[in-house]
Every structure is written in structure tokens, then in C-alpha cells.
A and B are shown apart, each in its own frame.
Chain A
Amino acid sequence: MPRAGAPILTAMPTPIYLDYLDRLEAEAIHILREVAGQFERPALLFSGGKDSIALTRLAEKAFRPGKFPFPLVHIDTGHNFQEIIDFRDSLAASLGEKLIVRKVEDTIRTRGLHEPGGKYPSRNPLQTYTLLDVIEEFEFDACIGGARRDEEKARAKERIFSVRDDFGQWDPKRQRPELWNIYNGRIQKGENVRVFPISNWTELDVWNYIQRENIKLPDIYFAHERQCVVLPSGQLLGLSEHLNLDDTDEIVSRRVRFRTVGDSTCTAAVESGAASIDDIIQDLLLAKVSERGATRLDDNLSETGMEDRKRNGYF
């Protein structure tokens, strides 16, 4: 309301102010539409995690009232929590979009791969094979992913349109210059492009967006009681039938939530009482440990874990 005495300018529209989240959103929508405009057979890699759920919201903003110009593709390690699988199916159904699921288990069988052993057998590295197979099967020329540059130091180096060779490999020393917001998706036969529309978002940005947009997430993101194994590092791993535990393992019941969801055998839970999105944002503002550091077992194994996997065709 204008103050008393102030002139009333009815014809003057209020200037539109865009805050940083509006700008990040606009950037992501622009990138998604570039994918639709430049590629013939794109796909959206959907993990069931918050980043890919946020991506589906961005895709709605980019393409509704039309359909998505790409299917959702889930590489299922078979080690996911059931909640995630259920959520995936109901989200795809409510969006009315096509969902393609390919199982790492099948790749292990058809390619004669070695099933990882040990107490916490992770199929994470094997996802790459399934991914490359599904790209070949459907001749996808672009795969959209929810990776963010703040996740990991090698990701911080990757372009938004990242060209991969026949084997899905990333060559960090030969990346195309990426100028302004002009995305060059020209590729040669056999190559494909990985596209990361939320590259410039941080974990906190994603949560702020989820809150602003009122996006529904699987329950495991919020605090709940869960049976967990205590790892030597002190991290907590949700109990599941995929772990090969023995008598030495200590099982406890804790109030936890997940900061990322991935393979249940290599994604740790964090102790937390955060039951709502507001709580989680508060948690994050105080958090002193990074998302990967808190939750990923596989990257802690090697300092260049992510770079090595990306070079080999990982997401």
C-alpha cells in the first residue's frame, strides 16, 4: 500500500525482482529447453533422490502443458530402499511421464560382471555399465543428470554440457570452452552429452527450492527411527538385507535421516531430529560436514574417486 501522501501511480507496474533462486531456476529451465531443442533422443537420469526430483519440477516448468521431451531413466542397483522405488513409481505415474528402469543385476548377468563382495557390497561402480548399455539400447544422445558442482572437487570442474566419447568417458583436459549461456551440443556419431542443469546449485539451494516449491520427497529424507550398523568411521549405515554382517557388527536404533539417497550399501544416514524441510534447512545452516563427506563411503576410499569414475563413464 502506498503511504499516505505519496502519489499513486496506477499505471506503473511494480518492477519484477528476481532473487538468486529465481535466477538459478531460470538458468536450469533454459538448459533443459536447450536439450529439447538440440537433441533428438534425450533422457533424464532419475535416481529417486532430491536432486532428480527437483529436476522433474524444473522440467514441468520448462515443458508444461506439453509432455517432457524425454523419458525418465532409472539405473536400479537393486540396493535401493523400497521407499525410494515406491516413490519413483508414484512420481512417474503422477507426472504421466514414461519411466525406463534398467537393473544393474541384469547387466551383471549379461556381461558376466563380478558381483562385488565384502561386508558392504556396493554396486555403485557397476552402474556405469548399465548406464552405457541403456544409452546404447535407446541411442540416447543426451543424458540429463542432477549433479551439482558443489558436491565434489572433480564435479566443480565439469561443464554444463559435458561431451563424452563412445565409452562415456570424460576427458577433463579437453573440455569444450563453454561461453556465456551458449551451449554447444554438437556431437559426432557415438558420442553423447551429459547435461547438468543444476550445476550451479548448492545443497542448500536445492532445499530452499524444495521448500519454496513445496516439492514432495521420500520419507527417508526426514528424521525417523532406523536400525543401523555402526561403521568403524562412526558413520551409520541403514540396515538392509544387502549387507553381509557378522557378530562383530554393532546394531543400534537411531533417529536418522538421509542427506542423499543412493545405493543403500554405501550411503550413510546422519543422526538428526529434522522432521520437516524447515528443520533440515536449519540443520544445513549449522552443518559442518559436506554432503558427500557425511554420507558417501565410496569417495572416501580414494582422493580421486569421483574423477576416476567420471573418466570411465560415470554420471
Chain B
Amino acid sequence: MDLLRFITCGSVDDGKSTLIGRLLYDSDSVSLDVLATLEKKRTATNSTDVDLALLTDGLKAEREQGITIDVAHKYFTTPRRKFIITDAPGHVQYTRNMVTGASNADLAIVLVDARQGVIEQTRRHTLLASLLGIKHFVLAVNKLDLVGYDEAVFERIVADYQAVAQQLKLADVVAIPLSALHGDNVVRRSKQIAWYQGPSLLEHLESVPATIDANPNEPRFQVQYVIRPQTEELPDYRGYAGRIQSGTYRAGDKVRIWPSGLETVIDAIEVNQQPVAAAVAPQGVILRLRDDIDISRGDTVVPLAAHPAVVREFEATLCWMDERPLRAGRKLLVQHHAAVVKASVTAILQKINIETFESQGTDEAKLNDIVRVRIKTALPLVADEYRQNRVTGAFILVDDQTGATLAAGLIAATDPEYFTQEVPAETAFSI
């Protein structure tokens, strides 16, 4: 069975949590005891309907305030597919939690309140989701019951969103009119919305292409841990344990180790202590290499035919997640999966204006800003551009003192020829 990971996003109160509750409820994925708890709550608050949002708003503060603060994960399975849902918070202040959820999703459901239409948060979340490499979008026009199930309202919102989709060059957007509260077009097609001929949300989720692994043509494998039993039976065994990040590895492949550049051959690939002829992303494997060379955690093993960029300077897009703003010259750590290196942000080049999606000059990144920066690292990194490889193009920035995660980073350019040419005046002065 396939796996599809999706995220719900949109502004506060657009109905994200209710929609997930409805999906779970109408697909028979909520257990009786959990329903009983909801029912108790309903009677206690004198409401007519059970509050489906309570199925995902799991924290005390969330239930008290009726909002979503952090990402919740929910799981359900239909005969067709297994789903992992991430319910993201809508408040601007919790944007970093939305980014957390989007980083692992294959599809984004962008909710819009039919009464409000496309608003800034719709644009912001669509931008973030597309930036993070999500390929499939659903525009869920919710609360249609509150506008008399009016087709004209739906069409107007779809047209507005088209403009957003075009600007961001989204390839796959499907618009669905629905009411999460009443269940119209969520699992079952709605009788109220007879003018809509398309699939229900669940039908669509069951049919979009499932998880595609990052760039199958450029194999990448990073060493996580070196296995050396040093026992009597296996005195000299040395295995490099790690995850295939993209592509296929075959026993017998000639490979190069980065960043050292040394060459060797894969003698064997082991999965669960058995040799296999080949393995693919995202399998966890052990590589046995022919030559006794110095390899440690964070090193990358790639076939000779592959072409990784191995660089000490690159440009990246950051989603800045710390309260303290980022200024040029800041020293920090780049964590590129198993590789952690000292680094410095040498320039802050541009900031994306969420309203217009245009770049503007800036000399700092504030909480939730999206900026383009240049980064220098103390040691070389095996870097790919994020749009080429969603695994090896990703990194995080970490505060070397507190250990806090400061930013999500997406590698934008590794070749100086494609670096941002005009450094804005303010930044140029502050370097």
C-alpha cells in the first residue's frame, strides 16, 4: 500500500482542524471511546454538533483557546492508501510550526473561508508550501454552507487563487467546494453542491500520485554511523550505516567519498545483515567498501558517475524561526543531515515580500521572514540545490551556544556564477 503525507494550511478559523476531524469521522477512523469524550464535551457546552476540531487540538491550551498552536499528526487508512496528516496552526506567530509540517508533506490542502476569500495567510502558506517543494495543492473553499452553497462565490475565489498559483508556477491545483462542518464533499459528494462535478476531497487524496523520492538520477548516501563489532568472529568488519537519500546503489559501484574525494568500490550492500544487489532511497543500509580509507559520520558516498557540488560557499533561502533577528556576520552551525559544520552568514541579500512575492533588499531577517542569504562554511558540504533534491538540498541552522534550531534552509545556488549579483546597498555597507 502507498503512503501519502499531507498538510492542512490556511488562516486561523478557516476550519482546518474541523476538516481533519471530518475526514477521520466520515471515514470511520475515530474510535468509539474518543467519540464518547467528544459527546460528553458537547453536552457540557450545550452545543448542537460535536466539535470535530477537538480530535486534533490535543493540548490543554489549544482546547481552552480553541486554536491550534502546534502541529498535530493524525493517521488514517482507506482501502486504497495510508495517510499521514499534519494539521498546521494558522496564526502568523506559529508560522515556523507550519513550515515544520510542510517540510515532510507531499500535498497541501489550502483552506479558504468562503466568506473571506483569498487573504494574506492563504498567500503566505501557499508560498511556504511551494517553496518547501510541495507539488500537489488542493484549494479547499470551506464554509460554503455560510454563503448558501453559492457557485459564484466559489468561482470568484478560484479565480483569485489562480493568480496566486500562476505567480508561483504551481503545476497541480485542484479546487473543491466544501463544508467541513456538515461534511459536504469531504468524504462523500455533496447533494447541496450539485453544480460541482469533481471528486470529493478524499476521492482526490486517494488518486493523486503518492510519495515520489528525491531525484532518482543522482544517488546520494550519507554515513550516519560506523559499525565495527570488533568481536572474535568479526575482528575487521567495518560497515558504513546510513540512509540512501536519493537514487539507487548497487554492489560493485565505483564510488567517491566526499568531501575527501577518495575513490573506492562498494563491495557489498547489506540490509538486515543480508547482502542485496541493489537498494533505493529511502532505505537504511550498510555499505561495505573495498579500501580501508578514512570515512566518518557526515561523509557522502556517491557513484563516480554522479555530480554533487562540494562547496564552502553557497546561497540559500531561509525561513528564519528565531525571535532574535539574523544579521550578516552571524556565526552559527549548519546541520546538513549527519554533517554539522561551523558557518557564517556572510550576507543577507533579499527578503520575499509575502504580499507581492517580490524580492526586496533587507539587512536583517526577523521571525518568520523568508530571506535569501549567502553562507560560508568552515568545511566543504556536499550540497545540491533544493529544487533538484529535496533531501540533500535541505539543512537547518543551529545556534552553537543554545542548540536551538534557528532556521530552515534550502540551498538555492552552489555555483558562484548563479549567485545574486546586486547586493543591496544596506547589506553591502554592513558586511
Residues of A within 8 A of B (CB): 13, 15-16, 18-20, 22-23, 25-27, 29-30, 33-34, 36-37, 60-67, 69, 149-150, 152-157, 172-173, 175-182, 184, 186-188, 199-200, 202, 204, 287-290, 293-294, 303-304, 307
Q: Does B104 contact A (CB under 8 A)?
A: yes
Q: Is the CB of B227 within 8 A of A184?
A: no
Q: Does B82 contact A (CB under 8 A)?
A: yes
Given contacts A36-B224, A182-B395, contact A154 B59 (CB under 8 A): yes
Q: How far is the CA of A10 from the CA of B333 in the complex (A)?
A: 48
Q: How far is the CA of A22 from the CA of B277 in the complex (A)?
A: 17
Q: Is the CB of A156 within 8 A of B56?
A: yes
Q: Does B116 contact A (CB under 8 A)?
A: no
Q: Is the CB of A34 within 8 A of B60?
A: no
- Closest B residue to A288 by CB, please name it: B32
Q: Is the CB of A154 within 8 A of B338?
A: no
Q: Which of B46-84 contact A (CB under 8 A)?
A: 55-61, 69-75, 77, 82, 84
Option from B77, B284, B335, B337 in Cβ contact (under 8 Å) with A61 = B284
Please, which residues of chain A bring their CB within 8 A of the CB of B227?
Answer: 63, 65-66
Given contacts A20-B1, A33-B242, A307-B60, contact A66 B408 (CB under 8 A): no
Q: Does B140 contact A (CB under 8 A)?
A: no
Please, which residues of chain A bring their CB within 8 A of the CB of B84?
Answer: 200
Q: Does B404 contact A (CB under 8 A)?
A: yes
Please, which residues of chain B bring their CB within 8 A of the CB of A22?
Answer: 283
Please, which residues of chain B bring their CB within 8 A of the CB of A293?
Answer: 31-34
Please, which residues of chain B bring their CB within 8 A of the CB of A289?
Answer: 31-33
Q: How far is the CA of A23 from the CA of B37 in the complex (A)?
A: 33
Given contacts A157-B58, A287-B31, contact A178 B100 (CB under 8 A): yes
Q: Is the CB of B33 within 8 A of A26?
A: no
Option from B99, B234, B280, B297 in Cβ contact (under 8 Å) with A18 = B280
Q: How far is the CA of A67 from the CA of B237 in the complex (A)?
A: 13
Given contacts A149-B73, A157-B59, contact A290 B241 (CB under 8 A): no
Please, which residues of chain A bring their CB within 8 A of the CB of B335?
Answer: 182, 184
Option from B32, B100, B297 in Cβ contact (under 8 Å) with A179 = B100
Q: Is the CB of A200 within 8 A of B73?
A: yes
Q: Is the CB of A13 within 8 A of B243?
A: no
Please, which residues of chain B bring their CB within 8 A of the CB of A30?
Answer: 224, 243, 282, 284
Q: How far is the CA of A12 from the CA of B375 in the complex (A)?
A: 42
Please, which residues of chain A bring their CB within 8 A of the CB of B336?
Answer: 182
Q: Is the CB of A23 within 8 A of B273?
A: no
Least distance between A270 CB and chain B CB atoms (Å): 12
Given contacts A22-B283, A290-B31, A307-B59, contact A65 B237 (CB under 8 A): yes
Q: Is the CB of A33 within 8 A of B225?
A: yes
Q: How far is the CA of A63 from the CA of B229 in the complex (A)?
A: 9
Given contacts A153-B58, A175-B70, contact A182 B396 (CB under 8 A): yes
Q: Does B403 contact A (CB under 8 A)?
A: yes
Q: How far is the CA of A172 from the CA of B2 in the complex (A)?
A: 31
Write 6 A-B pairs (CB below 8 A) sorted by A numbering. A29-B284, A153-B56, A182-B395, A202-B77, A290-B34, A293-B32
Given contacts A156-B74, A288-B32, contact A33 B241 (CB under 8 A): yes
Option from A16, A27, A37, A60 in Cβ contact (under 8 Å) with B338 = A37
Given known contacts A20-B2, A178-B100, A184-B398, what 20 new A-B pairs fall within 8 Å (CB)?
A13-B278, A22-B283, A30-B243, A36-B225, A37-B225, A61-B272, A62-B284, A64-B273, A65-B229, A157-B70, A157-B73, A177-B96, A178-B405, A182-B394, A204-B77, A288-B31, A289-B32, A289-B33, A290-B33, A303-B37
Please, which residues of chain B bring their CB within 8 A of the CB of A33?
Answer: 224-225, 241-243, 284
Q: How far is the CA of A19 from the CA of B3 in the complex (A)?
A: 7
Option from A19, A180, A188, A307 in Cβ contact (under 8 Å) with B104 = A180
Q: Does B344 contact A (CB under 8 A)?
A: no
The number of inter-chain residue pairs (CB within 8 angstroms) is 174
Please, which residues of chain A bring their CB within 8 A of the CB of B404?
Answer: 176
Least distance between B342 CB and chain A CB atoms (Å): 13
Q: Is the CB of B283 within 8 A of A18?
A: yes
Least distance between A78 CB and chain B CB atoms (Å): 28
Please, which residues of chain B bring their CB within 8 A of the CB of A181?
Answer: 104, 243, 337, 391
Q: How far is the CA of A16 from the CA of B285 in the complex (A)?
A: 14
What 9 pairs between A and B have smallest CB-CB spacing?
A: A293-B33, A153-B58, A186-B403, A29-B284, A290-B31, A20-B3, A33-B224, A66-B227, A177-B100
Least distance between B245 CB and chain A CB atoms (Å): 9
Please, which residues of chain A bring their CB within 8 A of the CB of B73?
Answer: 149, 156-157, 199-200
Over the window 17-36 of chain B, the binary record of Cβ atoms lying under 8 Å from chain A Cβ atoms (1 yes, 0 no) is: 00000000000000111100
Q: Does B211 contact A (CB under 8 A)?
A: yes
Please, which residues of chain B bring their CB within 8 A of the CB of A303?
Answer: 37
- Closest A residue to B216 by CB, please name it: A15
- Closest A residue to B393 by CB, please name it: A180
Q: Is the CB of A65 within 8 A of B234?
A: yes
Please, which residues of chain B bring their CB within 8 A of the CB of A63?
Answer: 225, 227, 241
Q: Is the CB of B75 within 8 A of A200?
A: yes
Q: Is the CB of A179 within 8 A of B99?
A: yes
Q: Is the CB of A179 within 8 A of B405?
A: yes
- Closest B residue to A307 by CB, please name it: B60
Option from B37, B59, B395 in Cβ contact (under 8 Å) with A172 = B59
Q: Does B362 contact A (CB under 8 A)?
A: no
Q: Does B45 contact A (CB under 8 A)?
A: no
Q: How far is the CA of A37 from the CA of B228 in the complex (A)?
A: 13
Q: Is the CB of A177 within 8 A of B224?
A: no
Please, which residues of chain A bring their CB within 8 A of the CB of B280?
Answer: 15-16, 18
Option from B82, B96, B297, B408 in Cβ contact (under 8 Å) with A37 = B297
Q: How far is the CA of A155 from the CA of B59 in the complex (A)?
A: 9
Least distance between B265 CB and chain A CB atoms (Å): 19
Least distance between B11 CB and chain A CB atoms (Å): 20
B99, B225, B297, most chain A CB atoms within 10 A: B225
Q: Is the CB of B103 within 8 A of A180?
A: yes
Q: Is the CB of B60 within 8 A of A26?
A: no
Q: How far is the CA of A272 from the CA of B271 in the complex (A)?
A: 37
